[in-house]
Structure 1
Amino acid sequence: MHYVTVEGLTKSFGTKPLFKDISFHIEEGDKIALVALNGTGKSTLLKIILGKEMPDEGKVWIHKDVTVVMLEQQTGFDPNKSIVENIFDQDHPVLNAIKNYELLTEEGAEPDLEQLTAAIARMDELNAWHFDSKVKQILGKLNIHNLEQLVGSLSGGQQKRVALAKVLIEIGFEHKHVLLIMDEPTNHLDVSMIEWLENFLDQEKVTLLLVTHDRYFLDSVCNEIMELDKEQLFIYKGDYENYLEKKAAREENEKASVDKARNLYRKELEWMRKQPKARTTKSKARQDAFYEVKDKASQKVQDQQLELNVKMTRLGGKILELKKVYKAYGDLTILKGFDYTFKKGERVGIVGKNGVGKSTFLNMLLGIEQPDSGKINVGETIVFGNYSQSGLEVKEDMRVIEFVKSIAENFPLADGTKVSAAQFLELFLFPAEKQYTFISKLSGGEKRRLHLLSILFRNPNFLVLDEPTNDLDLPTLSILESFLQEFQGCVIIVSHDRYFMDKLVDHLFVFEGEGVIRDFPGNYTQYREAEREEDKKKAAEPKKATVETPVATTTATEPKARKLSFKEKRELELLEKELEALEKEKADIETALSSGELPFDKMEPMTRRIGEIIQLLDEKGMRWLELSEIEG
């Protein structure tokens, strides 16, 4: 089925053209990634498709049976309303029924029996149980639990996850034909959430138009890439690797074409200068052709690669060492006697679930926070570069070039030469005309790029990068990766971008919780593979236990080798039977309540009982999961 047709679309802001005369189609089942440098029209194109902006020229046609749903960077939630009110804000009977039922059965709630009975009957009437199960899965996987919490009290990352949940719930029930548009959906998700989202989008078989910097996610989800470049649209079928190959070939062809035009231009220019003022028809045609050649020859072939041989501040013998460092916030233990000495040129990735203290660890290295005990010794020659999630901080609105010059006029290179602030901005894809733009007028991604540039311009020798890939476009990520691969100093990276981590880090600090940090020798993909192998070994251990003598293990691995006691095994067996019986009892009561034939005196105790069953299922289900994980 044909979903969207875009024909001859042109859009400019003032005198700056974003794109000219672009056309493309979206068919049912397409999964398309839209790639472009920040500030070159990605968001504008998406808004035009949504009907939120009008093009200067051209048209957009959307099939009448297609519903367009978008996950935007700005959530647009009412901060004074709860999570559940913002998620289920549409007046749709199925959504209203699920919303009512979820609020009545939320953990800790004591539902009115009559209301619960009515809610169950309404769910039966609309056959909404399947959708309710999907809603629970989505909310659970995105770690959204307290549904009555006000959205205004959530962090930016939590709000983004609520927005994602709202969109995924909407596409599940709204219409058969949905075009889902997602703008950076993996921002603020941990890796397990990203992997779940990949599987979810694959199973839902949605038609998708996606903007993302996560290249593994792009490869897993998309089968086509559209790139906005130099005001034109280029379409590539296949994965990210194929896109890079085809793009490189296209740029080589463009370069050869421009070189050829320049050679011809030089010859034609000489001919034009020798021409008499009188024009024949033949010479007039040649002169017209000359101006076409001139336009072609004047094109700039930009090579978006960073080529800086940096004169980095020298690293001394002592870099950074941590000795018996302890840190805790109340009951949350972050570090428990952590020891480590950094070496020259080390590249460390930091991974772990949200809330285990990764950002606190970075702040202690930078001296922003102090440990409870122990020592953190920083070498005298160390110059930190801190790329934090707080983003760019400017006291007053300034032009881009003024901001960079306020740091330094020039950037020193290893050969003794210098790069001016303007030249450095060019290398980071801020052309001359963009350098005199006020920072407040930059897009979110452009501000992130300027923040990155400002840190590198200070010439640090120890980089601390906390989620550096969020809101950066793929060309800028390529530049950052190239820079870091040549960087001679130390680098610490906290990132959920698996591709970025794999390309740059030598080993990982794995934050396992309760103050335990494991040093894993390898990149993120190798770590995940090792985890899967470990899970397989755990699953095989109970079978081996009857014929093999247990081997002594180190202190670090003892918790992982723990097996269920006889009492716990018995408890697990009983829990499985109890959960099965409770599910059956719940189903029987729901059938009886929805039959409409029960006398009132029997309905009340049944309704009370179903509330008790739901609570028991939650409690026993959590205990069953806990024991099952230990068993492996």
Structure 2
Amino acid sequence: MHLISLDNVDKAYPETLVLEGASMAISAGQRIGLIGQNGSGKSTLLGIVDGTVEPDAGDIVRASGLRIASLPQDPQYPSGSTVEDVVSFSREAISLSDRLGLKEPTKLTAELSGGQRKRLALSVALATECDLLILDEPTNHLDVDTIDWLEDYIATLTSTLILVTHDRYLLDRVVDTIVEVYDHRLYPHRGTYGQYLEARATREAIENANTKRLKQRIKTELAWLRKSPKARTSKSRQRTTRATEVVDAGLPRQRPELVMTFPPRRIGSKVVNLHNVGKEYDGQVVLKGITHLLAPDARVGIVGPNGAGKTTLLALMAQRITPNTGKVVMGSTIVPGWYGQEPSPIPPATRLIDAVRNQAEEVEITDRKTATAAKLLEMSQFTHEQQHSTVADLSGGERRRLELLLVLMGTPNLLLLDEPTNDLDLDTLHALEEYLDDWQGAMVVASHDRYFLDRVCHDIFSIQPDGTVQHHPGGWSAYWADRQERTDVPTNRTTTTKTRPKAPRTKLTFNDQRELKALTSQIPKLEAARSRLERELAEAGADIDEVSRLGAELADVIATLDSAETRWLELTERAEELAQR
């Protein structure tokens, strides 16, 4: 049974085509993950589905009595309303708002932060009885524990779901269909996000092969036309017609590739040293007793509940704020790049091309090669038309992409990223992750995105309730597994996957493939860390405190390395067994 059908839907805004000939059917019980580049039209499509946006053309058929609950990107509330007023319609909404950290029911909605407003709207959407639930970036402004809870909660829902999220773990677990918005049209794929990626890679390989063949054919036909054959016979006239049609049709539009490539800046041995650092606000301790020497190749992820002090710790490292106790020392060669949650102060009327030129007319992108402001914007997937539009015309994700470009243009050797995945599309995240793979510098990131933390971080700093910071070598997976072991959190989860006959597997699951890839990258780094710590321990001499600290850190690294190597062997043996089936 179809709840909603869209047939040849068009939608455009002044000078911007968003959707053209878009068609899709949403069936009862379906769980759709909606993906696409920033500005591709995802939010517009959601508005058309829930009836808040009128299309310019096309047909929309909705089931009689269809009930829709929606989580918008920017929730609005009645003037003078309180949290209690908004959730009082059901006990479930009250309970959910408390679970999502809204502990002051009498607080005015106008006084809530952007994150609190989004969490309030999420509690309302989840508690509303509906046939179709639409969630637009529900994980924004949630900490990793709450996201883990939300993943379980969504998995138990029986309503039809449309989900927009950059959280790839969430996508891979709770949806059974991926719909991509690309080039004004909709491209559906039955299966998980991992299966969609595999199918997309195959499709693009075929398209690239076809494009190469078409290029060769156009070259051949152009050569034939340039010979100016006399169309005396019907055959030569037909050949001329065919050749002209091929050349006029040109090449099919190809998906633009987002490119991040900037030369490394020299980094010294001293990056940022924190010595017994503490920070208070209004007499309340947020952080205390933090001592750490950031390594030149550091890849650190900071986690903790909302309000725990993740942004504060980043700002201390960047020397944007000063500690109340202790000291922060930054190396003389360090050029920090700050990519914060709050938008950069770019005047809304500034054209994109001018925003980039204000920083530099051109910059070096590879050895002895430079790129102009226009080329840099093109590499960041901004079209020529967009380059001459204003910052105010950008979607939230497009603005974040522009701000990321401006940060990287400064060629920092220390990146401090505060929730960098918020509002960025999946292609941009993939490009950023690949850039960080080869980037020669130190990075510290505060993020709720578990996949991103798993992908780019080698160490996790967790902020404890008393304001201290605990170091977990080995990255997100090792940290989370250790936490579950210590707190006895059950790892088996209820799933909503329908029972159906399955073909025997011949390869690892998407999650196992991803884990094996991460371990293959992680193990050499852990081995290098072990060698470094053994060397430093040998050089520590009679310094008992330093020997104790290095010995404890070395023990952690060795334990993590043993665990990683054991798991790597398990996965490689499993992959070989599956390949032989």
In structure 2, give the amino acid aligned to 1:220.
R
Q: Cα–Cα, structure 1 residues 135 and 41, in superposed 2: closer, same or farther, change >3 Å?
A: closer
Identify if the C-alpha distance between structure 1 residues 150 and 136 changes in structure 2 by more than 3 Å, giving closer, same or farther.
closer
Q: How many angstroms apart in 1 are the aligned matches of 2:35 and 2:274?
A: 42
Q: Hey, what does 1:80 align to over in structure 2?
A: 80
2-side partners of 1:396 and 1:43: how far apart? Answer: 21
Question: Shift in Å at residue 250 of structure 1?
Answer: 1.0
TM-score (norm 1): 0.74
Decide whether the 8 Å contact of 1:33 with 1:226 is kept in 2: yes
- 1:44 paired with 2:2, answer no
Measured in 2, the distance between the counterparts of 1:284 and 1:22 equals 39
Q: Is the 8 A contact 2:463 2:469 kept in 1?
A: yes
Secondary structure at the aligned position of 2:74 is classed as coil
- C-alpha displacement of 1:268: 2.4
Q: Alpha-carbon deviations, 1:22-41, whole Å to 9, x = none? A: 32211111110111111111
- Partner residue of 1:343? 295
Determine helix, strand or coil for the equivalent of 2:287: strand
Inter-partner Cα distance in structure 1 for 2:204 and 2:489: 49
SS state at 1:233 partner: strand
Of 306, 311, 316 in structure 2, the residue corresponding to residue 354 of structure 1 is 306
- The answer to whether the Cα contact below 8 Å between 1:2 and 1:27 also exists between their aligned partners in 2 is yes
Q: How does 1:269-284 map to 2 (within 5 A)?
A: 269-274=222-227
- C-alpha deviation, 1:439, in angstroms: 0.7
Aligned counterparts of 1:222 and 1:504: Cα–Cα separation in 2: 25
Match of 2:381 among 429, 451, 465: 429
Displacement after TM superposition at 1:283 (Å):
6.1
The DSSP-based 3-state class of the residue aligned with 2:268 is coil
Deviations 1:342-394 (A, max 9, x none): 11111100011112212111111222211112221111111010001111211
Contact 2:297 2:441 in 1 (8 A): yes
Instruction: Find the counterpart in structure 2 of residue 149 from structure 1.
Output: 107
Which one-letter code corresponds to 1:513 in the other structure?
A: P
Give yes or no for contact 1:332–1:514 (8 Å, CA) kept in 2: no
Q: In the TM superposition, what are the counterparts of 1:125-164 in structure 2 within 5 Å?
A: 132=91, 134-164=92-122
- Contact persistence 1:48–1:54 (CA under 8 A): yes
Q: For 1:76-115, what per-residue CA distance to the aligned partner results, in whole angstroms no more than 9, with x for missing partners?
A: 1124211122345xxxxxx3xx5xxxxxxxxxxxxxxxxx
Please state whether the residue corresponding to 2:483 is helix, strand or coil: helix
The letter for the 1-side match of 2:210 is: S
Paired with 1:271 and 1:53, the residues of 2 have a C-alpha distance of: 51
Question: Separation in 1 of the partners of 2:396 and 2:233?
Answer: 55
Q: Paired residues, what number?
A: 492
Deviation at 1:243, TM superposition (A): 1.2
Whether contact under 8 Å (1:32, 1:224) holds in the other structure is yes
1:213 aligned onto 2:166 = yes
Distance 2:428 2:461 in 1: 26
Deviations 1:29-77 (Å, cap 9, x if unpaired)? 1110111111111112122222333333321111113222221111011
1:248 aligns with 2:201: yes
| Equivalent residue for 1:420, pick from 364, 369, 372 | 372
Q: Is the 8 A contact 1:258 1:296 kept in 2?
A: no
Tell me if 1:56 matches 2:56: yes
- Say which SS state the counterpart of residue 5 (structure 1) adopts: strand
Quote the RMSD (CA, aligned, Å). 2.4
Give the structure 2 partner of residue 198 of structure 1: 151
Partner of residue 475, structure 1: 427
Structure 2 CA distance, aligned partners of 1:24 and 1:162?
Answer: 30
CA contact (8 A) 1:83 1:149 kept: yes
**Partners of 2:54 and 2:278 in 1: how far apart?**
57
Query: Matches of 2:473 and 2:424 in 1, distance apart?
Result: 28
Distance 1:303 1:263, change over 3 A: same
Kept in 1: contact 2:256–2:381 (CA 8 A): no
Question: How far is the alpha carbon of 1:296 from its aligned partner?
Answer: 4.9
Q: Verify the 8 A CA contact 1:313 1:381 in the aligned structure 2.
A: no
Q: Is the 8 A contact 1:448 1:472 kept in 2?
A: yes
* Equivalent position SS for 1:513: coil
Counterpart in 2 of 1:8? Answer: 8
Contact between 1:20 and 1:231, CA under 8 Å: does it hold in 2?
yes
CA-CA distance at 1:291 after TM superposition: 5.3
Query: 2:358 is paired with a residue of what secondary structure?
Result: helix
Listed as ranges, the matches of 1:85-484 within 5 Å are 85-88=85-88, 95=89, 98=90, 132=91, 134-171=92-129, 175=130, 178-274=131-227, 289-290=242-243, 292-294=245-247, 296-302=249-255, 304-306=257-259, 308=261, 310-395=262-347, 397-484=349-436
Cα pair 1:349 1:509 within 8 Å, conserved: yes
Maintained 8 Å contact 1:306/1:482: no
- Equivalent-residue separation in structure 2 for 1:537 and 1:182 (angstroms): 27
Are 2:314 and 2:446, in contact at CA under 8 Å, matched by a contact in 1? no
Residues 480 and 296 of structure 1: CA distance in aligned 2, closer, same or farther (over 3 Å): farther
Preserved contact between residue 259 and residue 297 of structure 1 (Cα < 8 Å): no
Residue 261 of structure 1 contacts residue 296 of structure 1 at CA under 8 Å; is this kept in 2?
no
Which stretch has the larger CA shift, 450-459 or 10-19?
A: 10-19
Matched letter for residue 72 of structure 1: P
Distance 1:286 1:307 in 2: 44
Partner letter of residue 509 of structure 1? F
| Distance in structure 2 (CA, Å) of the matches to 1:60 and 1:40 | 20
Summarize the Cα distance change of 1:527–1:60 in structure 2 as closer, same or farther, 3 Å threshold. Answer: same
Q: Which amino acid aligns with 1:214?
A: D
Go from structure 1 to structure 2 and tell me whether the alpha carbon gap of 1:335 and 1:43 turns closer, same or farther (over 3 Å shift). closer
Question: Does the 8 A contact of 1:401 with 1:422 survive in 2?
Answer: yes
CA change 1:490–1:434 in 2 (3 A) is same
* 1:413 counterpart SS class: strand
Q: Helix, strand or coil: the match of 2:247?
A: helix
Alpha-carbon shift at residue 290 of structure 1 (Å): 4.2
- What is the distance in 2 between the residues matched to 1:337 and 1:39? 44
Partner AA of 2:104 in structure 1: N
State the AA in 2 paired with 1:28. Answer: A
Structure 2: distance between partners of 1:285 and 1:164: 63
Kindly indicate whether the alpha-carbon contact (under 8 Å) linking 2:365 and 2:371 is maintained by their aligned counterparts in 1.
yes
1:537 CA displacement: 11
Residue 281 of structure 1, CA deviation: 6.9
Once the two structures are TM-superposed, the CA of residue 185 in structure 1 deviates from its matched residue by: 0.9
Which runs of 5 or more residues in structure 1 are unaligned? 89-94, 99-131, 539-553, 556-632
Please list the CA deviations of residues 118-150 of structure 1 after superposition, one character each: whole Å capped at 9, or x if unmatched.
xxxxxxxxxxxxxx3x33431232122322211
Which residue in the other structure is 1:519 paired with? 471
- Which stretches in structure 2 are left out of the alignment for 5+ residues? 491-547, 550-581
8 Å contact 2:267–2:333 — kept in the other structure? yes
Contact 2:142/2:306 (CA < 8 Å) preserved in 1?
Answer: no
Give the Cα–Cα distance (whole angstroms) in 1 for the partners of residues 489 and 371 of structure 2: 55
> Which residue identity does 1:433 align to in structure 2?
E
CA distance in 2, matches of 1:476, 1:354: 25
Relative to structure 2, which stretch is displaced further, 391-400 or 491-500?
391-400
TM-score of the superposition, structure 2-length normalised? 0.80
